[in-house]
C-alpha cells in the first residue's frame, strides 16, 4: 500500500508550478551558483564536478572569450587580456582605481560614463561586461543542471557596496539575461545559510572577508526576522591585498624591483596566492620563481607572513568598532560571530577576530560557499516555491548616508547610514533668490559634510516653480530606497503640485542605450560563437576522416582500388585538406560528404575482404551467429 504525503491546503507545489531559481555569489576571486533541491540548499558544479568558478575572463582573438579555469591558466602568459578581480572595479571611476592601477596589468581607458574600460584584443570592455561573462557561465550551468529556464535569481553583493556598485551589478545581470529578484547583502545571505533564524535569538555578527571586499554586519534575530542593526566595511580590502603584500616581499627578497613587467608581476601574484593558501595549514612554504633568466628560491614562514598582513587584518577591526558603535551594543550581548569569505581561513584572521569579539568564531560551513547557499534559500522563497519560509523576513540597511546638495556645497543628509530598507523619507527645501522658477537637485552618498567629498549619484531639475520671493516656495524632496539598496529621488513644489523625479542611474553605471547596445552585440556574438563551434566541429570531422582514409589507402589501396577510383579519392582528400582551414563550415561539410561518397565503394570492398579473410577455412555451421 502506497503512502500519500498530505499537506495543508494551498501549501503543495505541483511540478508544473515549481519555478526554477538560484542564488549567485558573484565573488572577487571565485563565483558560485546554488539552488534548493528537495528542501536542501546545494551548490551546482560544472561538468567536471568543480563548484568554484574562478572570476577570471580572457579576451583573445585566437580563443574568443574564455571564463574560469581556462582564463586563469593564461593569466601569467597573457596578463593584458586576462581580467581577474573585476569586482573591485565595479561601479568605480578611473580615479577610484588609480591607487591600485600600478598593481594591475590592464590598459585602462577613461570613458564618458565614468567607469573605466579595459583594452583587450577583442576591443574595449567595461567591468560590467566582464562580470556579465561570468554570470552567463553560471546561468548556463544552472539551466543545464535544472533542465530549464530560470524564473529568477538572487545575486549577493557586499553590504558596503554603494549605489553605483549595486547598479553596476544589476546591469551585469541584465546583460547576462538574468531576472534579478533581489540584490542580497552577503553577510545577510550567510546568516540565512547558517539557519540562524532557527537557532538562538539575539545579536549575531557576520564577519565577511573575501578576495576583494570586507563587510561586518550586526544582526538582531527575533522569531524568524533578520534585522540588520548596522553594517560597515571596506569595498577595497580583502585577500587580494594579502597577495599583493606577499608579492612585494618576493620582489624585495629576489631583487626584482628593476625587472618587473606585466607577465612577471602576474606570476608573482599567483605564487603569493598559492603560498597564502598553503600557510593556512603549514608553518612554512617553499617558493620557487622560474621566469626567463630569473631563478630564485626562498622560504616564507607563517610568522613572516603574519607580520606582512597584520596591518591589513587590523584594518578590518576599525569597521567592526564602528558597526558596534552604530548598533549601540556591547561585546557581552553578542551570541556568535560567523566567519564568511575565503580569506577567513587564514589562522591570523580567525585568532584576531576571536580575540576582538571575545568568543570562538563559527566556521562550520565552507566560507567560500556559505553566501551562495543563503542566496539560494532567499531566491527559492522570493520565486514562490518555499512556503515553509514564508515567515522569514530580511530587514537590511543602507550602508551609507544619502542626501542632497545645498547652497555652499554642503550636504543635507536625508537618509542616515544604517537605516533599515526599504525606506522612504522626505524633507522640505526652498528657493534662494527672488523669482526662481527652477531648482537643480543633486543627490549624493557618503558620510562627509561637503559635496566634493561624497559620491555623486544623480542630478535633475525641477521646472515650473511659481515665481515667488526667495524662501517662499516649499520644495518637498523625497528619497526612496528599495530592498536592493537602489535609490530613486523625487521633488514636488507643494503650492503648485509640479513634480520631477529620477530613478538614480549612477555616473558609474550604464545607460539604457548602452545596455541595449550590449545586448544586441551579445546576440550577434552568440551567433558568431555558434558558427565558430560548427566550424571547429567540421574541421575535427574532416581531420579524422582524412586520417582514416589515408590509413586505409596505405593498407589496401593498391590491392582493392583501380587507378581511376584511387585518383578520385585522392582528389577529394586534396580538396578537403586545402579547404578545412577556411571559415565556411558548410563548404567543409560538403567536401566531407564528397570524400565519403567517393570512398564508399572502397570501404565496402575492405569490409568484404575482411569478412572473407575471417571466414576462410571455416564451414558455415561453425560460425557463432
> Which residues form the catalytic set?
25, 87, 186, 208
Q: State how far the Cα of 172 lies from the Cα of 178, in Å rounded to an integer.
A: 9
Taking the C-alpha atoms of residue 267 and residue 292, their distance in angstroms, rounded to an integer, is 12
Rounded Cα gap, residues 130 and 169, in angstroms? 11
CA distance 205 to 334: 7
CA 51 to chain centre: 14
* 67, 134 contact by CB (below 8 A): yes
* Nearest of 169, 217, 215, 155 to residue 382 by alpha carbon: 155
Smallest Cα–Cα separation from 362: which of 207, 192, 137, 591? 207
If we measure between CA atoms, which residue out of 82, 50, 85 comes closest to residue 66? 82
Half-sphere exposure of 145 (CA within 13 A, CB side): 23
**CA atoms of 576 and 598, how far apart (whole Å):** 13
CB-CB neighbours of 148 under 10 Å: 11
Residue 151 is classified by DSSP as S
Burial of 206 per CB tally in 10 Å (0-12, 13-18, 19+): buried
Could you give the strand order of the β-sheet that contains 475-481, starting from the edge strand earlier in sequence? 423-429, 475-481, 487-493, 499-503
* 316's grid cell: 578590518
Nearest to 155 by CA among 132, 125, 181, 131: 181
How many residues would you count in the chain? 625
CA dihedral 344, 133, 85, 354 (to 10 degrees): -10
The CA–CA distances, whole Å, from 97 to 198, 483, 497 equal 42, 28, 43
Amino acid at each position: 500500500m502506497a503512502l500519500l504525503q498530505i499537506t495543508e491546503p494551498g501549501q503543495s507545489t505541483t511540478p508544473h508550478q515549481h519555478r526554477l531559481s538560484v542564488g549567485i555569489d558573484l565573488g572577487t576571486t571565485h563565483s558560485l551558483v546554488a539552488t534548493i533541491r528537495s528542501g536542501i540548499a546545494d551548490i551546482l558544479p560544472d561538468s567536471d564536478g568543480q563548484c568554484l568558478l574562478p572570476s577570471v575572463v580572457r579576451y583573445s582573438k585566437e580563443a574568443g572569450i574564455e571564463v574560469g579555469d581556462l582564463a586563469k591558466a593564461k593569466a601569467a602568459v597573457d596578463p593584458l587580456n586576462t581580467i581577474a578581480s573585476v569586482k573591485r572595479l565595479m561601479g568605480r571611476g578611473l580615479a577610484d582605481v588609480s591607487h591600485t592601477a600600478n598593481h594591475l596589468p590592464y590598459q585602462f581607458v577613461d570613458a564618458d560614463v565614468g567607469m573605466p574600460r579595459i583594452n583587450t584584443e577583442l576591443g574595449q570592455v567595461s567591468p560590467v561586461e566582464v562580470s556579465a561573462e561570468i554570470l552567463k557561465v553560471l546561468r548556463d550551468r544552472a539551466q543545464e543542471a535544472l533542465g530549464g529556464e530560470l524564473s529568477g535569481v538572487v545575486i549577493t553583493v557586499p553590504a558596503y557596496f554603494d549605489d553605483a556598485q549595486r547598479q553596476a551589478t544589476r546591469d551585469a545581470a541584465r546583460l547576462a539575461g538574468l531576472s534579478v529578484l533581489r540584490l542580497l547583502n552577503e553577510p545577510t545571505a550567510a546568516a540565512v545559510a547558517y539557519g540562524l533564524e532557527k537557532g538562538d535569538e539575539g545579536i549575531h555578527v557576520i564577519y565577511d572577508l573575501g578576495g576583494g571586499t570586507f563587510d561586518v554586519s550586526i544582526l538582531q534575530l527575533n522569531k524568524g526576522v533578520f534585522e540588520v542593526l548596522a553594517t560597515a566595511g571596506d569595498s577595497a580590502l580583502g585577500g587580494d591585498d594579502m597577495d599583493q603584500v606577499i608579492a612585494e616581499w618576493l620582489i624585495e627578497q629576489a631583487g626584482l624591483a628593476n625587472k618587473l613587467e606585466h607577465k612577471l608581476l602576474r606570476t608573482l601574484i599567483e605564487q603569493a596566492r598559492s603560498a597564502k593558501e598553503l600557510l593556512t595549514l603549514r608553518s612554512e612554504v617553499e617558493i620557487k620563481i622560474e621566469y626567463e633568466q630569473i631563478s630564485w628560491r626562498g622560504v616564507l614562514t607563517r610568522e613572516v607572513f603574519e607580520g606582512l598582513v597584520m596591518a591589513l587584518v587590523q584594518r578590518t577591526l576599525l569597521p567592526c568598532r564602528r558597526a558596534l558603535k552604530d548598533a549601540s551594543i556591547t561585546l557581552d550581548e553578542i551570541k556568535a560571530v560567523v566567519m564568511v569569505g575565503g580569506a577567513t581561513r587564514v589562522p591570523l584572521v580567525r585568532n584576531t577576530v576571536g580575540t576582538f569579539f571575545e568568543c570562538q568564531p563559527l566556521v562550520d560551513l565552507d566560507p567560500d560557499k556559505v553566501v551562495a547557499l543563503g542566496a539560494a534559500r532567499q531566491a527559492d522563497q522570493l520565486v514562490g516555491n518555499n512556503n515553509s519560509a514564508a515567515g522569514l523576513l530580511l530587514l537590511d540597511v543602507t550602508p551609507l548616508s544619502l542626501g542632497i546638495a545645498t547652497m555652499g556645497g554642503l550636504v543635507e543628509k536625508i537618509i542616515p547610514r544604517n537605516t533599515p530598507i526599504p525606506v522612504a523619507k522626505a524633507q522640505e527645501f526652498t528657493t534662494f533668490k527672488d523669482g526662481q522658477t527652477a531648482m537643480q537637485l543633486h543627490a549624493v552618498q557618503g558620510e562627509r559634510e561637503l559635496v566634493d567629498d561624497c559620491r555623486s549619484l544623480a542630478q535633475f531639475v525641477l521646472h515650473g516653480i511659481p515665481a515667488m520671493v526667495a524662501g517662499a516656495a516649499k520644495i518637498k524632496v523625497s528619497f526612496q530606497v528599495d530592498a536592493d539598496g537602489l535609490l530613486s529621488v523625487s521633488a514636488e513644489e507643494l503650492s503648485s503640485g509640479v513634480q520631477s523625479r529620477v530613478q538614480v542611474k549612477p555616473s558609474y553605471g550604464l545607460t539604457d542605450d548602452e545596455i541595449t547596445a550590449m545586448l544586441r552585440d551579445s546576440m550577434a556574438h552568440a551567433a558568431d560563437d555558434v558558427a565558430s563551434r560548427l566550424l571547429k566541429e567540421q574541421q575535427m570531422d574532416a581531420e579524422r576522416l582524412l586520417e582514416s582514409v589515408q590509413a586505409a589507402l596505405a593498407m589496401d589501396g593498391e590491392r582493392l582500388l583501380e587507378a581511376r577510383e584511387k585518383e578520385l579519392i585522392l582528389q577529394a582528400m586534396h580538396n578537403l585538406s586545402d579547404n578545412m582551414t577556411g571559415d565556411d563550415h558548410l563548404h567543409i561539410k560538403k567536401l566531407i560528404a564528397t570524400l565519403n561518397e567517393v570512398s564508399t565503394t572502397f570501404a565496402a570492398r575492405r569490409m568484404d575482404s575482411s569478412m572473407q579473410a575471417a571466414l576462410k577455412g571455416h564451414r558455415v555451421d561453425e560460425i557463432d551467429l
